[in-house]
Chain A
Amino acid sequence: MSDHTEQGAHGHVVPVGVYVAVFLALMCLTALTTGVAYLDLGKWNTVAALTIAVIKMLLVVLFFMHVKYAHGLTKVVIIAGFFWLGIMITLSLSDELTRGWEMNPAGWTSVIPFLHHLFF
């Protein structure tokens, strides 16, 4: 582990054992995600499937794509990419999932006179 900071024209040479371990982990996680899909976990099926997918992605990005050993600037660019993806999904869903909300929920009308009474 001591040579992880080694940078140069040669780049970081990842030991074959690390690649094989990552490969085996990815295969096991594929079997796990397939198996879990056949169990009735309710909403947790989706959570389990996406959690396993994110773990697999991190393994590929960090080891196969050498990001664990990459320059800080490269890491910032990658994180920015995923951050913007997060913005796209979050803002799209914040519209989509709130469309069914009532414009004037019943309790609101009583809250406003109460606040008025409180402050004025």
Chain B
Amino acid sequence: MSEMAAHDAHAHPPGFAHQFEDAAQQKEAGTLGMWAFLVTEILFFGGMFTAYIVYRSLHLPGFIIGSHLLLVKFGATNTAVLICSSLTMALAIRSAQTGKSKGTIIWWLVLTMILGAAFLALKFTFEWRTDYLEHTVPGAFFGFEYRPEWGANAPYVQMFMCFYFFMTGLHALHMVVGLGILTVLVIMTARGKFSSEYYTPLEISGLYWHFVDIVWIFLFPLLYLIGGRYSGS
């Protein structure tokens, strides 16, 4: 596209593609396109949330036992970590908007990546490992024999844990993809692709990152909290 722009008599801002009226329209189109994708993501996660709501209403006692198996301290810490990462992402985009140096943009992006990696590290190495050792991972070693106190609710405790691992697992997968996108953004920033005139890739990647944050904002209360923490465990 830059070669094409060079042939044109008009001066074009960097990153400007010819099919658009102007840079503002290009940015609008990019934002709208990203939101169209995020709407599909809302319904993708929404399907799982709907299934969760329906089965929770059917098997409430099992789901409450399951919810008590999760550790609120990890869930709450990870919520805080993700909110911090959303702030650093927003500040990365703002640095590009206001024409700050490459180093400043990269600093905020790398900080966002560190926070994202911290989230995954906490989830994989503490939470999921603990779940495995406590026999709460669905499968051959699930606690049917190990946790007799669950009684007839045990199959529904396992169902809750299936929802937990699928929902947080798909969320974690989105985080891993997000870290890949951030890596590309760091490389693009280092190569000087962005300026206050053109930073759309940063902007729409930010939309993705914040969306993944929002999914967690709902997963945390639905999985960890609404089982009634006051009543035992």
Contact = CB atoms under 8 A, between A and B. Distances in A.
Contact of A57 (B80, B197, B207, B217): B217
Contact of A9 (B23, B38, B39): B23
B123 to A, nearest CB: 17
Contacts of A117: none
B72 A34 contact: yes
Interface string A27-55: 10011011001111000011001101100
| Highest count of chain B CB atoms <10 Å: which of A34, A39, A40 | A34
A70 B207 CA distance: 12
Contacts, number: 151
Given A13-B98, A73-B32, A81-B42, A30 B80 contact: yes
Contact of B39 (A14, A23, A38, A78): A78
Contacts of B28: 71, 73-74
- Interface residues of chain A: helix, strand, loop or mixed (majority): helix
Interface residues of B, number: 58
Nearest to A15: B94
Given A11-B27, A16-B94, A96-B57, A81 B230 contact: no
Given A71-B32, A85-B42, A38 B206 contact: no
A89 B76 contact: no
Interface residues of A, number: 53
Given A19-B94, A37-B225, A60-B86, A53 B31 contact: no
Interface of B: 13, 22-24, 27-28, 31-32, 35-36, 38-39, 42-43, 46-47, 49-50, 53-54, 57-58, 72, 76, 79-80, 83-84, 86-87, 89-91, 94, 97-98, 196-198, 203, 206-207, 210-211, 213-214, 217-218, 220-222, 224-226, 228-231
Interface of A: 7-11, 13-14, 16, 19-20, 22-23, 26-27, 30-31, 33-34, 37-40, 45-46, 49-50, 52-53, 56-57, 60-61, 63-66, 70-71, 73-74, 77-78, 80-82, 84-85, 88-89, 92-93, 96-97
